[in-house]
Amino acid sequence: MHELSVIIEVAKQVEAIAIENNITEVDSIVLQIGEISSMIPRYIEECYPAAVDRTMLEKTKLVIEIVKATANCDHCDQVFNIVDSEGHCPICQTKDWTLLTGKEFIIKEIIVC
């Protein structure tokens, strides 16, 4: 839903980083997106060309790495994937857990020519 405005923000931040580092051409941007973040990778990919249109990033490729949603069970300390186990701890079946990863939305790195 808000992917376009967010990817425009990403493009602005990358441009600022490029200018700061005297970079004129960026080959690719690597984003890390958490599996249960509010960003849907497919929509990010679809909005990306519009966001970089007529900017220095027009020819820059977008690479998305998905970060798995993992949690730590509050009862038995098991670390598990929340999506795979449908929100339950696979060992003790409770729904009480603390999120470890999966909400990220990070510009991981940029690859420059």
Q: Rounded to the nearest whole angstrom, what is the least distance from the CB of residue 67 to other proteins in the complex?
A: 12
11 binds other proteins (CB under 8 A): no
x/- map, 45-84, other proteins, by CB under 8 A? ----------------------------------------
Minimum CB separation of residue 7 from other proteins in Å reads 9
Residues with Cβ within 8 Å of residue 42, at least 6 apart in sequence: none
Token readout for 8 is: 């425009």
Contacts of other proteins in 22-41 (CB under 8 A): 23, 27, 38
- Interface region with other proteins, contact rule CB under 8 A, candidates 21-29, 47-55, 64-72, 83-91: 21-29
Contacts to other proteins by CB under 8 A: 1-2, 5-6, 9-10, 13, 17, 21, 23, 27, 38, 104-113
